[in-house]
Amino acid sequence: MYGPFAVNGSLTPQSNVDFDNTLKMTNAEWGIRDILDLEAVAASEGFSLENCHDLPANNKILVWKRL
């Protein structure tokens, strides 16, 4: 998965916080997800987080592995 993600409840920098707020104003169910929450959903579907790569522009790539 590619994009901005919160890490352990922390969302940085301010541009990602602003983007998250804009998404939530459009639809309350939208927003930047926390990696911990994604790990819980993935585990329930048979996946585990194998790696997290930091990328430019405050984005990440999350690599999942099927268990």
Max intra-chain CA distance, the chain? 36
Q: CA dist 17 to 21, 22, 42, 63, Å? A: 6, 9, 24, 23
Range of the domain at 61: 2-66
What pLDDT, on the 0 to 100 scale, is given for residue 23?
Answer: 98
What pLDDT, on the 0 to 100 scale, is given for residue 59?
Answer: 97
Is the CA virtual torsion 42, 12, 55, 8 positive or negative?
A: negative
Between strands 2-3 and 59-66, the pairing is antiparallel
Number of domains in the chain: 1
Q: Are 35 and 29 in contact (CB under 8 A)?
A: no
Tens-of-pLDDT digits for all 67 residues of the chain? 999 999 999 999 999 999 999 999 999 999 999 999 999 999 999 999 999 999 999 999 999 999 9
What pLDDT, on the 0 to 100 scale, is given for residue 49?
Answer: 98
